[in-house]
Chain A
Amino acid sequence: MKNFRYIMIISPFFLMVSAFLLIPALSIIFNSFRSEDGIFTINNYIEILGSTFYLQSFKNSLIISLESAVIGLIVSVIASYAIYSLDNQLSRMTLTITNMTSNFAGVPLAFAFMILLGNNGVFTILFKALGVDVFSIFDIYSNLGLVIIYVYFQIPLGILLMYPSFDSISEGYIDAAVSLGTSKCYFWKKVGIPILMPALTSTLAILFANAMGAYATAYALTNGAFNIVPVRIGALISGDLFLKPNLASALSVILAAMLLGLNLISRRGNHAKE
């Protein structure tokens, strides 16, 4: 009787979760195995695997995500260590700025970079005045351009994830190691990096997933012309051309599986830390 009452008060939550999370998830999986006419098939997956266009979108997504995640991780580790070693005031200021810019992503970020590095961008003109053609070095609307923009939102996130784990390497450890006659280098190799390792893998996985799922930045930068997986999926369900929601579902299943995998990796890293 009492249990019934508790079940009553928790059921609205499960209703909402079913309606907007569980049923959509199941529907994506179900529809990915249906042709646009409603017949059971695995053709959607075959089409993806046989299409250079879709394969290229995966290739682009993976390369851009991996590059931006690795660069983002390296910069955040160096920056986190610097912040950690600095005196209070400067480190607090840096962390505040990091925190505040961590929400600067998506559409406004793409616009800001267009103002900086677009065709009439501030830096483009500046470099032109110096006699350098920016677009001969790189194009903001290319893969490399996207990596540069992605790195911008990866770094604050990376720092916010990495910074706390430097606390687990106390000065005491380093002093202890030095007092035992080892070099600092040896300390980092044998103790420091192994302690940080779980945080490093976990952060890398989160940054990777963060870039894999990102849609708005690339979409706003090129009006949806960029060939990465999230943009492809979006085009198949809301583009002006012909819509193929079931093909979009198949792409979604593959992307979701990757994101889930990355998330599990990051969680394992976090648990090892505890």
Chain B
Amino acid sequence: MQKNKTNKAIAMGLMIYLVIPIFFTLIYSFAAKWQNTLLPEGFTLKHYIQLFTTARYFLALGRTMFSAAISIIISFILLVPVIYVGKLHFQWLDKIMGKIILLPFALQGVILAVGLIKIYSGGPIAISGTVFILIGAYFVVILPYMYQGIKNSIDSLDVKTIAEAASLLGASEFFTFFKVVLPNLLKGVTVSTLLSFAILIGEFVLSNILVGGNYETVQVYMYGTRGVSGHYTSAIVISYFLFVLIISGTVLAINKLEARKG
């Protein structure tokens, strides 16, 4: 019993610790003035009103979502055939892929930026400062997560037998892929897609160095407001966190649903 109390206290302490920074940022975002006093001097909605009437903020959010979505779609479209063909026809592909998905861990954030900026700042493909270089970089960032998600999904499908069964029933490989494999994949990769999305929305270093003000993402915009007003910045932080919350909440809900079904 005593032990259980300790465990409860630890869990409660952990939850409070994790929530504190977000909680006070929330209060701060509603505070009219909060300097040199213990409690805020009045509350206001003006920071949120300011935020929701700032077109630049929504444009930045839109750019982030657009570039994240495009890179996830590209990643999915390019990865699925590789993993599928690797599973059914080229067993050697699996080993190569295992090595490739290690690389993004080494070429993390700023290191990837070093490599990309050198190649694409000049020369025949000068895409530095455009959305294209950002999408390419994002493709690399999410590669390990997307790969694992799609691979797990394909592995759990037992595609080899499914493909054999379908071919014996007279279906072409093309037909089987679109009618059977793809619909199952789309369901299976929801979690890794949302995870990738959450990672990309939180991405700062690549967008700051590679495109900066030329294609302002929400993180770069957030960083830029640090000099304006702490209250306004905290309103951005909160609305950003809510956004991430919705995404991770969806992931949790899906996981729970899958667990119940499984």
Complex: chain B residue closest to A121, CB-CB: B24
Task: Summarize B's interface: helix, strand, loop or mixed.
Answer: helix
Complex: chain A residue closest to B219, CB-CB: A107
Residue with the highest number of chain B CB atoms closer than 10 Å, among A3, A6, A109: A6
Complex: chain A residue closest to B35, CB-CB: A120
B108 x A109 contact (CB < 8 A): no
Q: Does B1 lie at the interface of the complex (its beta carbon under 8 Å from any beta carbon of A)?
A: no
Query: A79-B10, A101-B19, A116-B24 in contact; A263/B105 too (CB < 8 A)?
Result: yes
Chain B residue numbers with a CB within 8 Å of A93 are 15
Q: State which size class the interface on A falls in.
A: 35 or more
Within 8 A of A (CB), among B122-144: 136-137, 139-140, 143
Q: Does A162 lie at the interface of the complex (its beta carbon under 8 Å from any beta carbon of B)?
A: no
Q: Does A155 lie at the interface of the complex (its beta carbon under 8 Å from any beta carbon of B)?
A: yes
Cα(A114)–Cα(B7), bound, Å? 31
Contact pick for B115, options A24, A104, A109, A120, CB 8 Å: A24
A4-23 toward B: CB 8 Å interface, digit per residue (1/0)?
00100110110011011111
Q: Does B192 lie at the interface of the complex (its beta carbon under 8 Å from any beta carbon of A)?
A: no
Chain A residue numbers with a CB within 8 Å of B74 are 16
B106-125 toward A: CB 8 Å interface, digit per residue (1/0)?
11111111111111000000
Chain A residue numbers with a CB within 8 Å of B15 are 93-94, 97
Complex: chain B residue closest to A129, CB-CB: B38
A88-128 toward B: CB 8 Å interface, digit per residue (1/0)?
00110110111111111111110111111000101001100
Within 8 A of B (CB), among A57-104: 75, 78-79, 81-83, 85-86, 90-91, 93-94, 96-104
Cα(A152)–Cα(B20), bound, Å? 11
B37 x A125 contact (CB < 8 A): yes
Cα(A152)–Cα(B18), bound, Å? 7
B237 x A86 contact (CB < 8 A): no
Q: Does B166 lie at the interface of the complex (its beta carbon under 8 Å from any beta carbon of A)?
A: no
Q: Does B254 lie at the interface of the complex (its beta carbon under 8 Å from any beta carbon of A)?
A: no
A116 x B21 contact (CB < 8 A): yes
Query: A79-B10, A111-B234 in contact; A122/B24 too (CB < 8 A)?
Result: yes
- Please name 30 pairs of A and B residues whose Cβ atoms are closer than 8 Å in the assembled complex, sorted by A: A10-B93, A16-B136, A21-B107, A23-B115, A23-B119, A27-B115, A78-B10, A82-B10, A85-B3, A85-B4, A85-B7, A91-B11, A93-B15, A97-B14, A98-B18, A99-B252, A100-B248, A104-B22, A111-B25, A112-B21, A112-B237, A152-B21, A209-B108, A216-B219, A219-B204, A233-B111, A238-B212, A252-B111, A252-B114, A260-B102
Given contacts A81-B7, A233-B110, 4 further A-B contacts (CB under 8 A): A83-B7, A97-B18, A237-B117, A256-B107
Binding site for A on B (CB under 8 A): 3-4, 6-8, 10-11, 14-15, 17-22, 24-25, 27-28, 34-38, 74, 78-79, 81-82, 85-86, 89-90, 93, 100, 102-119, 136-137, 139-140, 143, 198-199, 202, 204-205, 208-209, 212, 219, 222-223, 226, 230, 233-234, 236-237, 240-241, 244-245, 247-249, 251-252
Binding site for B on A (CB under 8 A): 3, 6, 9-10, 12-13, 16-17, 19-25, 27-28, 31, 75, 78-79, 81-83, 85-86, 90-91, 93-94, 96-109, 111-116, 120, 122, 125-126, 129, 152, 155-156, 209, 213-216, 219-220, 223, 230, 233-234, 237-238, 245, 248-249, 252, 255-257, 259-260, 263-264
